């Protein structure tokens, strides 16, 4: 099977030289399937990334069969906006696209060119299971009663599993055996001495396995998006996944001090403090034991979601779909577990934006070697266009990762950018991270600059000592459209 062995070469030549293909029908049959697995709030705590306490054998094994991007960055450190950027292949270009309502409130102007809609228009079946856009089930089915579907017309099928949780919101913030979250009262972590299906992700994985079985007999190429919910808060998992993590092995955050107020884009962890409460009233910034409990629970929830990913990948293998399926595993952003005295995302620091991305293309060269190039979530759209041999819907901000898929040493095409709040922007180069924090009523931002090589945990703001670097990086922020332009003085 020349076609499947050399899928990458074929797809690339199809994109560049469409006349070389024998016929449109043959091209459609030759098109690869895409399995896209989205994990929620998973920071780069993987065994394969050298994190000692991590127990992620399935993700590690997958990395050994594809390309792991060690420096992948979300564009916005919150679920809805990060997923919006991925679905568009674009940076946010208006304020609303920096929030969780990004897709629901702006899809009318771009939804027909969204990743699933575009694939669907080009002969793919498109399916979304679980949390893919912001709202689980894409606001269909048992929805949040908040309005119309997020991406109408993009999916042939979009759904959440039938499970003990009554609504998609309960599923997203679910406790064991169908219990919903009570905002402000529920604990931030939970351990249940039961099977994997005590929590929602086992139900998502079960539906994914069944659906792959149906797709295996399809004569149409498919794009199947599987959205898992963990390790998003609450950090919950069956006891067996906690048992993998000896409390002695869990380390404290490296830098726990809050950055200096006068330059800081720091935030007070509202999602964590507003929605969850420790029964004993402990605060993780004041109680080191509680901080370690939370960090262990996050690791356990990560091991739990890793196991569910493993079930889906094993089904793909057993169904003999691997040779014609591109697999992408992605997390929508990172999470700060007490670093900088933040328990949450919603921050432009390294741990808020950096998250795992792995891509496996059948027949790829140098599988298992990592790419250290700086890449962004918006790069996935043009990458998949090229791999699937589809035309581009128009200008995209992302760049295809084909160079890094062919050669893991290929350099980054651009720096990584990030956006948050009502005017904060960041740019990450190989050496620096600059964060420009908007000050209301002033044209001058307050600046944090970290030397990521000398100071990878962002302990020391060196902006005052590096005026030339600051000037150049502030200029580079303006190389892409400012989504906050309308709000600036
Ligand atoms: Ca998320």
User: Does the model's pTM come out above 0.85?
Assistant: yes
Choose among 75, 109, 111, 74: nearest CA to 91. 75
189 CA to centre of ligand 1 in angstroms? 17
13-17, 238-242, 323-327, 425-429: segment of lowest average pLDDT? 13-17
Residue 461's contacts (CB-CB under 8 Å, 6 or more residues apart) are 259, 260, 263, 448, 449, 450
pLDDT at 428: 98
Residue 97 has phi, psi (to 5 degrees) of -80, 5
d(C-alpha 343, C-alpha 356), whole Å: 19
Tens digit of pLDDT for each residue in 2-18? 334 445 554 444 444 34
Tens digit of pLDDT for each residue in 169-187? 889 999 999 999 999 999 9
Q: Are 32 and 221 in contact (CB under 8 A)?
A: yes
Mapped onto helix, strand or coil, the DSSP state of residue 283 is coil
Which residues place a Cβ less than 5 A from the ion ligand 1? 40-41, 79, 332
193 CA to centre of ligand 1 in angstroms? 26
Mapped onto helix, strand or coil, the DSSP state of residue 318 is helix
Mean pLDDT (whole number) for 482-486 = 94
Residue 134 known to be catalytic: yes
Q: Where are the beta strands (DSSP E) in 198-304?
A: 222-231, 235-238
Residue 79 known to be catalytic: yes
Among 71, 79, 107, 232, which one carries the catalytic annotation?
A: 79
Question: Percentage of residues in the chain with pLDDT exceeding 70?
Answer: 91
Domain boundaries, the chain: 33-406
Which CATH number applies to 33-406?
3.40.720.10
10-19, 437-446, 452-461: segment of lowest average pLDDT? 10-19
10-19, 157-166, 229-238, 275-284: segment of lowest average pLDDT? 10-19
Tokens for 483?
Answer: 């989504």
pLDDT at 24: 58
């Amino acid at each position: 099977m020349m076609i499947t062995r050399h899928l990458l070469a074929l797809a690339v030549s199809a994109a560049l030289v469409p006349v070389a293909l024998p016929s449109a029908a043959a091209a459609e049959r030759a098109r690869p399937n895409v399995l896209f697995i989205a994990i929620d709030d998973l920071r780069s705590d993987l065994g394969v990334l050298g994190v000692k306490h991590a127990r992620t054998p399935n993700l590690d094994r997958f990395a050994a069969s594809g390309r792991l991007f060690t420096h992948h960055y979300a564009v916005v450190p919150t679920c809805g906006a990060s997923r919006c950027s991925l679905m568009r292949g674009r940076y946010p270009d208006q304020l609303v696209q920096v929030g969780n309502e990004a897709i629901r409130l702006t899809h009318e102007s771009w939804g027909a060119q969204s990743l699933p809609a575009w694939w669907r228009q080009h002969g793919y079946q498109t399916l979304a299971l679980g949390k893919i856009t912001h709202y689980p089930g894409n606001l269909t089915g048992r929805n949040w009663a908040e309005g119309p579907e997020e991406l109408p017309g993009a999916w042939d099928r979009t759904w959440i599993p039938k499970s003990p949780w009554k609504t998609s919101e309960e599923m997203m913030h679910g406790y064991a055996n169908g219990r919903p979250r009570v905002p402000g009262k529920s604990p931030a972590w939970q351990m249940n001495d039961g099977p994997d299906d005590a929590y929602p992700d086992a139900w998502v994985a079960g539906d994914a396995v069944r659906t792959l079985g149906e797709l295996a007999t399809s004569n149409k190429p498919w794009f199947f998006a599987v959205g898992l919910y963990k390790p998003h808060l609450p950090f919950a998992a069956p006891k067996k996944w906690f048992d993998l993590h000896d409390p002695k092995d869990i380390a404290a955050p490296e830098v726990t001090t809050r950055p200096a107020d006068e330059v800081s884009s720091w935030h007070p962890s509202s999602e964590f403090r507003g929605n969850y409460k420790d029964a004993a009233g402990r605060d993780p910034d004041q109680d080191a034991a509680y901080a370690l409990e939370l960090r262990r629970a996050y690791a356990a929830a990560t091991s739990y979601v890793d196991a569910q990913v493993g079930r889906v990948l094993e089904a793909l293998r057993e169904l003999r779909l691997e040779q014609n399926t591109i697999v992408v595993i992605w997390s929508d952003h990172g999470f700060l577990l007490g670093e900088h005295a933040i328990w949450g995302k919603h921050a432009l620091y390294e741990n808020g934006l950096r998250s795992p991305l792995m891509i496996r293309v059948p027949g790829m060269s140098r599988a298992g070697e990592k790419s250290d190039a700086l890449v962004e979530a918006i790069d996935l759209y043009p990458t998949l266009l090229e791999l699937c041999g589809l035309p581009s819907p128009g200008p995209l901000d992302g760049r295809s990762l084909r160079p890094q898929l062919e050669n893991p040493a290929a350099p980054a095409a651009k720096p990584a950018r990030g956006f948050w709040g009502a005017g904060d922007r960041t740019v990450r180069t190989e050496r620096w991270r600059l964060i420009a924090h908007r000050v209301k009523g002033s044209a001058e931002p307050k600046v944090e600059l970290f030397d990521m090589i000398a100071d990878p945990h962002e302990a020391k703001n060196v902006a005052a000592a590096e005026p030339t670097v600051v000037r150049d990086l502030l200029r580079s922020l303006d190389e892409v459209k400012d989504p906050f332009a309308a709000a600036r003085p």
